[in-house]
Amino acid sequence: MGIYTLVFEIMSVIMFFGIIGILGLKRKDYWSIIRIISGGLFGITLEYANVYIADSYTYSTEFFFQFGNTPLNIPICIGLCWGLIIWACMNVSNRFNIPIWARALLDGLLALTIDLSMDTIAIRIEGGLWTWTGIPLESIPTLNSFFGVNYGNFTGWFFVVIIFSALLRIEEHLIREKINKWVSFLYLGIIPLLAYIPLYFFLMNSSLPILWLLDIGVSGTHDYPQLVALLTFLYIIVGVIIILSLVFIKLRPTIRKDVDLLTIYIFMSFHVMYIFIYLVGGFFSEAPMILPLAIFMFLVDIAIHWLILDIEKAKELIQAIKG
CA-nearest of 146, 158, 148, 135 to 206 is 158
Q: Is the peptide bond preceding residue 71 cis, with omega within 30 degrees of 0?
A: yes
39/57 Cα distance (integer angstroms)? 21
284/280 Cα distance (integer angstroms)? 9
The backbone torsions φ and ψ at residue 167, rounded to the nearest 5 degrees and listed phi first, read -65, -35
Residue 306, beta-bridge partner list? none
21/29 Cα distance (integer angstroms)? 10
In terms of Cβ atoms closer than 10 Å to its own Cβ (0-12, 13-18, 19+), residue 120 is buried
CA-nearest of 6, 19, 67 to 41 is 67
CA-nearest of 106, 84, 224 to 166 is 106
Q: Please state the length of the chain.
A: 323
pTM, full prediction: 0.92
CA-nearest of 110, 130, 122 to 60 is 130
184/177 Cα distance (integer angstroms)? 9
**Residue 178 identity (one-letter amino acid):** K
Q: What is the DSSP letter of 171?
A: I
148/190 Cα distance (integer angstroms)? 35
| Alpha carbon distances (Å) from 140 to 75, 156, 215, 290 | 28, 21, 28, 8
**Residue 14 identity (one-letter amino acid):** I
Regions of the chain where pLDDT drops below 70: 1, 216-223, 322-323
